[in-house]
């Protein structure tokens, strides 16, 4: 992905990518959970870059293939064969990043075409299994499938689909793993007993996708300045970081406010500037998106938090809110990641 403005260095999002690549290297399945507009797409774009994988995996890079499976590309939502076709097609797309060993492009393209013509789930699953076995056992590769936008699929796919994924992993043990990118915990999307064998692969391996660190947030702000040709002073950048708490979506909403409203930047030097920003339409809309993307339990937990009813927040919900970065631990206990979002939650009471 071409960046305008300061480029992301190799330590971008390292608080997430260090454990991420430890799981990849250990061929362990895991999941990444984050709230709305938390920069998941940008993170995926970054971690699938060859130089980033080289940075984290070193000389082992060529033996690890990270295959991005975007569920938005699933053409036929309720047909199991469509999922296996997407998996094969995702492998085919990823082949462009590697040497075309044994003319695999042609072989996989032919299998993919046959699936599209026959639309048979058993045939599609066998073709997927065949390709994985060839890559893992013949070419000695390690595959990690990155399931992007996987909440609805995890909730609704048949139990047999997850059994098949587990079977493919077991047939290629220590060579196949799965990484799920989710907004909700897997056990909230469906009871673990419904796909227990698959759930146990990843249930203990969780990575929280929270707001940016100060360094990453300031770099994103500078990219927005360059992209929208609207330079800010160092002091204004710091104030945008403080107001947003490092949340990527809020950073963009705040930047849009400064650009679209005449002399809005002057407000940053006036008393009550964060309260003024919290009333602007773009900022309110971003807060709404964050709120609506949360589960009912999470919303109830945040409402109890602003009311001071801490005893009403269960330990699992509290831990999840901290994992997602919506609450941050401090010496007094915890606080909202952003005062602006805290004001929004209070306004709903």
Work out how many domains the chain is built from and give that number: 2
The single-letter DSSP state of residue 131 is: H
Closest CA to 170 of 206, 122, 125, 133: 133
Q: Could you tell me if 136 and 151 lie in one domain?
A: yes
pTM higher than 0.85, yes or no?
A: yes
pLDDT of 2 higher than 60: no
The residues, ordered by sequence, that sit 6+ positions from 67 with a Cβ below 8 Å of its Cβ are 90, 91, 94, 143, 144, 145, 146
Evaluate whether residue 6 is within a structural domain: no
Q: Could you tell me if 29 and 166 lie in one domain?
A: yes
Q: Give pLDDT, residue 266.
A: 84
170-187 confidence digits (pLDDT tens): 999 899 999 999 999 999
φ/ψ of residue 330, rounded to 5: -145, -175
pLDDT of 332 higher than 90: no
Q: Give pLDDT, residue 182.
A: 96
Q: Give pLDDT, residue 5.
A: 63
Boundary of a domain, candidates 209, 227, 259: 209
Q: Could you tell me if 250 and 285 lie in one domain?
A: yes
CA atoms lying within 13 Å on the CB side of residue 301: 21
Residues in the chain: 349
Evaluate whether residue 331 is within a structural domain: yes
Evaluate whether residue 7 is within a structural domain: no
Evaluate whether residue 53 is within a structural domain: yes
Q: Could you tell me if 254 and 234 lie in one domain?
A: yes
Q: Could you tell me if 242 and 188 lie in one domain?
A: no
Contact 97, 50 (CB under 8 A): yes
**Domain with 104 in it: what CATH number?**
3.40.50.300
Instruction: Report how far residue 319's alpha carbon sits from residue 336's, in angstroms, rounded to the nearest whole number.
Output: 14
The single-letter DSSP state of residue 7 is: P
Beta bridge partners of 180: 31, 147
Instruction: Report how far residue 172's alpha carbon sits from residue 306's, in angstroms, rounded to the nearest whole number.
Output: 49
Evaluate whether residue 79 is within a structural domain: yes
81-94 confidence digits (pLDDT tens): 999 999 999 999 99
Q: What is the rounded average pLDDT of the residues 205-215?
A: 96
Q: Could you tell me if 32 and 63 lie in one domain?
A: yes
Evaluate whether residue 1 is within a structural domain: no
Boundary of a domain, candidates 159, 180, 209: 209
Burial call 12-46: b when 16+ CB within 10 Å, e when fewer: bbbebbebbbebbbebbbbbbbbbbbbbbebbbeb
Instruction: Report how far residue 279's alpha carbon sits from residue 345's, in angstroms, rounded to the nearest whole number.
Output: 13
Contact 316, 184 (CB under 8 A): no
Q: What is the rounded average pLDDT of the residues 29-45?
A: 94
Evaluate whether residue 319 is within a structural domain: yes
Closest CA to 57 of 10, 105, 107, 113: 10
Contact 316, 296 (CB under 8 A): no
Q: Could you tell me if 239 and 185 lie in one domain?
A: no
Q: What is the rounded average pLDDT of the residues 43-62?
A: 95
Q: Could you tell me if 292 and 183 lie in one domain?
A: no
**Proportion of the chain above pLDDT 70, given as a percent:** 98
Boundary of a domain, candidates 209, 231, 264: 209
pLDDT of 334 higher than 70: yes
Q: Could you tell me if 276 and 331 lie in one domain?
A: yes
Burial call 321-335: b when 16+ CB within 10 Å, e when fewer: bbbbbbbbeeeeebe
**Domain coverage including residue 287:** 211-349
Neighbours of 281 (CB within 10 A): 12
Contact 164, 121 (CB under 8 A): no
Closest CA to 72 of 64, 83, 63: 83
Q: Could you tell me if 335 and 313 lie in one domain?
A: yes
Q: Could you tell me if 216 and 204 lie in one domain?
A: no
Instruction: Report how far residue 168's alpha carbon sits from residue 161's, in angstroms, rounded to the nearest whole number.
Output: 11
Q: Could you tell me if 55 and 171 lie in one domain?
A: yes
Evaluate whether residue 4 is within a structural domain: no
């Amino acid at each position: 992905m071409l960046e305008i403005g300061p480029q992301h260095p190799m330590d971008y999002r390292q608080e997430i990518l260090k454990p991420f690549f430890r799981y990849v290297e250990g061929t362990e399945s895991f999941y990444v959970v984050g709230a709305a507009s938390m920069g998941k797409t940008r993170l995926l774009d970054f971690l699938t870059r060859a130089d980033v994988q080289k940075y984290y995996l070193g000389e082992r890079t060529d033996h690890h293939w990270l295959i991005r499976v975007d569920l938005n590309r699933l053409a036929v939502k309720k047909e199991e064969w469509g999922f296996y076709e997407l998996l094969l097609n995702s492998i085919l797309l990823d082949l462009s990043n590697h040497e075309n060993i044994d003319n695999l492009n042609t072989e996989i393209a032919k299998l993919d075409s046959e699936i599209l013509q026959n639309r048979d789930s058993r045939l599609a699953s066998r073709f997927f299994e065949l390709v994985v076995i060839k890559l893992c056992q013949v070419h000695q590769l390690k595959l990690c499938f990155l399931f992007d936008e996987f909440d609805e699929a995890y909730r609704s796919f048949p139990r047999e689909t997850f059994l098949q994924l587990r079977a493919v992993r077991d047939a290629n043990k220590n060579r196949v793993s799965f990484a799920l990118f989710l907004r909700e915990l897997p056990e909230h999307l469906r009871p673990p007993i419904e796909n227990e064998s698959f759930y146990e692969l990843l249930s203990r391996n969780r990575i929280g996708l929270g707001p940016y660190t100060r360094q990453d947030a300031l770099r994103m702000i500078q990219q927005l300045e360059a992209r929208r040709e609207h330079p800010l002073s160092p002091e204004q950048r710091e104030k945008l970081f403080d107001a947003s708490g490092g949340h990527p979506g809020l950073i963009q909403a705040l930047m849009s406010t400064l650009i679209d409203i005449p002399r809005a930047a002057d407000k940053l030097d006036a008393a009550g500037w964060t309260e003024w920003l919290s009333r602007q339409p773009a900022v309110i809309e971003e807060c709404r998106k964050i709120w609506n993307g949360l589960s009912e339990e999470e919303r109830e937990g945040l409402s109890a938090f602003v009311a001071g009813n801490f005893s009403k927040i269960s330990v699992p919900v509290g831990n999840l809110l901290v994992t997602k970065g919506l609450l941050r631990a401090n010496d007094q206990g915890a606080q909202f990641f952003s005062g602006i979002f805290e004001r929004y939650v209070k306004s709903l009471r």
